[in-house]
Chain A
Amino acid sequence: MTRDTRERLRFVANGICKSFATPVLHDVDLEVSVGDIHGLVGENGAGKSTLAKIIVGLETADSGSLYLDGQPYRPINTADSLRAGTAICAQELSLVDDLSIAENILLNTTASPWTRIRRKCAEERASSLLSLVGLEHSTPRTLVGRLSLAEKQLVEIAKALATEAKLLILDEPTSALTVPQAEVVHGILRDKVCGGITVIYISHRLGDVLNVCDRVSVLRDGEVQLTEDCDKLSEKALIREMAGVDADFDAPPRPTVKSAPLHLTVSGLRTSKLPNPISFNCKRGEILGVAGLAGSGRTELLNAIFGLDKRIGGSIKIHTESGTTEPRNPWQSIKSGIGLVTEDRTKDGIFRAQALAFNVTIAGLGRISDRSGRLIRRKEVGAVARLIEALRVRSTGAYQKMRELSGGNQQKSMLARWLHCESQLLLLDEPTRGVDVTAKLAIHTELVRLRDSGITVIAVSSELEELQSLCDRIIVLSNRNLVAEFHRSNWNQREILAAAFSEYDRVYEPSSAS
């Protein structure tokens, strides 16, 4: 980064205002220099995504003006903004499941819809982009619907890179990625800005933002609180600006797990997606972390325990005071006291169009009905009110529609669903994915409280810091094998990462940052 490129501004926003039902952006000014990676941080609902959408023409501002390379710029849709040279890698993935990777990448184009598709040419281009983002093992003809969430996110990034836009906006590009995968993406971004491209980088991962960005702007309640060079900032300072309070990030002190009885025994477990037998135990009242790269079988392990994937070998035993059960499908699992919070909330977690009460009670309808299966509204209202209160779910009441709740509150209500069932073993797949800092801390606090009340938690997370602050023990999966186990007293990030990579062919060099 040289001084003179700093002087030139690629993108300027001036006094941008936007209201939906309530004001979302208020008088936002933003200046982004050519060749910068400009971070944009803030809590959920601070207005980051809305600002991004305005820049690429997915929304229009109520007032204010935009300039691209000094020229007034007012895109009316994404095609328009693509022509002007801006592209977005959106938080909600915009891929078509029924098209191949190559075809998806091709969709982001300014060419006329009547252009003939040269399959070979498109596939070659896709192929080179795939190896760039670290998906060299996927072929361009693979249907996107078959990819995991992390792989889809990488394809989404490849799709944005394919546009060769001069202003690239990445909205939470690494939320589903593991640390090394995110590192690959950051490497690409650094390369791209050397080539004169400008990036606006939106993320909840503050460490990443400080690591990869040149400058950062903090949004709070639709206003820019601060714009500063990254080397003058710390995570603590960012959080202070975002939340307006000093959030405590240190891992809470933790008494070690006493000799508690076994709660779960997994032995020789195999499914079609987990070909190698997996065995481990979990004690009552323990928080067990599952680490590993995206696609290492973490989600598949939780699904297998819950009985969503049919097992082809081994056994899963749940030990309770009243005896041992071996659940084989979700229904039996729930009866045995297991609850699963899935990775992709909108896909297989919440019922968006239904009420909060519906979402909270759906897995335990027997608890709000009489013997004949008739629902009793009084019981429903009571149960839901208690859970909303206990988990501090922010809503207008039990009958507010789920889609009107923020991500963090939706996530809390997923927990509430299993607390309603009085589940004793919670399987949590990325429990804080896409929720803001305060909601994340609230969820962590709640999990520790549950643990202390004797509930067992198995948590999958791509953020090692999260597992380290939360867990009593961490098991590591690598390429669908269980390869290592670490206790709270004797782990370090480097060894966990090394274990996560141990079953893959390529050798991983821990980056200097870790």
Chain B
Amino acid sequence: MNELGSRVSRILEGNLIFVSLLAIVVFFSLISESFLALTTLSTLLNQLPALTVVSIGMTLVLISGGIDLSVGSVVALSAGVIGAGIAILGLPLPLAACLGILTGALVGLANGGLGAYLRLPIFIVTLGMLEVSRGLAYLVTDSQTVYIGATIQSFALPWAGSGVSASILVALTLVVVFELLLKKTIFGRQIVAVGSNESAAEVSGIDPRRVRCTVLVLSGLLAGLGGLMNAAYLGSADPNAGIGLELSAIAAAVIGGTSLMGGRGSVVGAFVGVLIVSVLQIGLAQIGITEPTKRVITGAVIILAVILDRWRVA
């Protein structure tokens, strides 16, 4: 009996975030009758793709020992490029979408070049790039929301009957792909090595600058994709999109067990982090909690996650 107890507790510890997510879901479904309805689930899922893909990139950057504060603005910039491309230049959607994602990758390349190769502090570089990208987003959209229309929305609208959109399917696939990249490939090992001990990684034949730069480009690229998903969800390009998204992504990654010091983390964990924050938001709204209180609770949950994580690792 005792042995069973210790085994249960070990399993609970190992999957703490999944257990927490489950607990939150059970809690809200007990309190609010409408919570477990299918509509809640589909609303939730369809809000998530942008934050999910941005969190994937953020997780990789954090594990490599860096940080990327520019992602929120890059979402808006990418959306702006797509919107302007379609509405003003009359480009076909696929071409505009590629341009938007490419723009994100270019911002990532700038971050990587300045931060990894010129060795400027990455926090400051990406903070600067947060302003630059936001400014560029206003410039390409002329500071107005650019209406794109129904063509792009088909990407984000749930398919009839299934409640699942192409957008969320892409996001989920990327979660799996990047988790495998991180845990099962040489490149994933190199990311962890650089974040864990940069000098030791160099002695082991890894070029830390290349690894750091690559994850920043990936993060920019994923933020660019986030811009496409955001524009698809809204049916328009909003230059104010994604404000504060970098903080939500960091929060999701940290709740999912990623260390801000680098060297540890998981993409699936970050996705569960995204779910925890989102479920909390919707659940609290449904039981009639006001926006300010919601923010207080969400903040407390982030801190609680770090405390639990520290206790688990120690």
**A residues adjacent to B (C-beta < 8 A):** 306, 308, 329-331, 333-334, 340, 342, 347-354, 358, 362-363, 365-366, 369, 373-375, 417
Taking CB atoms, residues of chain A closer than 8 Å to B203 are 306, 308, 330, 340, 342, 348-349, 363
Contact flag A353-B199 (CB < 8 Å), given A369-B186, A374-B185? no
Max chain A C-beta neighbours (<10 A), residue from B186, B197, B204: B204
Contacting residue for A330 out of B184, B185, B187, B205, CB 8 A: B205
B199 touches A334 (CB 8 A): no
Bound: A10/B264 CA distance, A: 48
Bound: A369/B196 CA distance, A: 21
Taking CB atoms, residues of chain A closer than 8 Å to B187 are 373
B193 within 8 Å of A (CB atoms): yes
Bound: A334/B197 CA distance, A: 18
CB distance from A511 to the nearest CB of B (A): 36
Q: Which residue of A lies closest to B207 (CB)?
A: A331
A375 touches B200 (CB 8 A): no
B62 within 8 Å of A (CB atoms): no
Taking CB atoms, residues of chain B closer than 8 Å to A374 are 184-185
Q: List 7 A-B contacts (CB under 8 A).
A: A306-B203, A308-B202, A340-B203, A351-B200, A351-B201, A353-B264, A362-B201
B184 touches A375 (CB 8 A): yes
Contacting residue for B205 out of A334, A347, A373, CB 8 A: A334
B100 within 8 Å of A (CB atoms): no
Bound: A347/B201 CA distance, A: 11
Bound: A22/B201 CA distance, A: 33
Within 8 A of A (CB), among B172-213: 184-190, 192-193, 196-197, 199-207
B263 within 8 Å of A (CB atoms): yes
Taking CB atoms, residues of chain A closer than 8 Å to B206 are 331, 362
A348 touches B197 (CB 8 A): yes
Contact flag A333-B205 (CB < 8 Å), given A348-B197, A350-B200? yes
Taking CB atoms, residues of chain B closer than 8 Å to A353 are 196, 263-264
Max chain A C-beta neighbours (<10 A), residue from B188, B189, B202: B189
Number of A-B pairs, beta carbon distance below 8 Å = 71
Taking CB atoms, residues of chain A closer than 8 Å to B263 are 351, 353-354
Kindly list 17 other residue pairs between chains A and B, CB separation below 8 angstroms, not including A329-B207, A351-B263, A354-B192. Answer: A308-B202, A331-B205, A331-B206, A334-B204, A342-B203, A349-B203, A354-B193, A354-B196, A354-B263, A362-B189, A362-B193, A363-B203, A363-B204, A363-B205, A365-B189, A369-B185, A373-B187
Taking CB atoms, residues of chain A closer than 8 Å to B200 are 342, 347-351
CB distance from B257 to the nearest CB of A (A): 13
Bound: A375/B190 CA distance, A: 12
Bound: A183/B142 CA distance, A: 74
Max chain A C-beta neighbours (<10 A), residue from B196, B200, B201: B200
Q: Which residue of A lies closest to B197 (CB)?
A: A351
Bound: A330/B202 CA distance, A: 7
Within 8 A of A (CB), among B49-94: none
Bound: A353/B190 CA distance, A: 14
B196 touches A351 (CB 8 A): yes
Contact flag A366-B202 (CB < 8 Å), given A351-B197, A353-B264, A354-B196? no
Taking CB atoms, residues of chain B closer than 8 Å to A340 are 203
Taking CB atoms, residues of chain A closer than 8 Å to B201 are 351, 362
Contacting residue for B189 out of A330, A334, A352, A358, CB 8 A: A358
Bound: A439/B197 CA distance, A: 25
Taking CB atoms, residues of chain B closer than 8 Å to A350 are 197, 200
Q: Which residue of B lies closest to A306 (CB)?
A: B203
Bound: A340/B202 CA distance, A: 11
CB distance from A351 to the nearest CB of B (A): 4
Bound: A417/B193 CA distance, A: 14
Within 8 A of A (CB), among B210-237: none
Give 3 closest A-B pairs by Cβ, nearest first: A348-B199, A363-B204, A334-B205
Taking CB atoms, residues of chain A closer than 8 Å to B185 are 369, 373-375
Bound: A374/B203 CA distance, A: 22
CB distance from A32 to the nearest CB of B (A): 35
A375 touches B189 (CB 8 A): yes
Taking CB atoms, residues of chain B closer than 8 Å to A369 are 185-186
Bound: A285/B187 CA distance, A: 34
Taking CB atoms, residues of chain A closer than 8 Å to B184 are 374-375
Bound: A140/B188 CA distance, A: 44
Bound: A331/B184 CA distance, A: 21
Contacting residue for B204 out of A362, A366, A373, A375, CB 8 A: A362
Bound: A362/B207 CA distance, A: 13
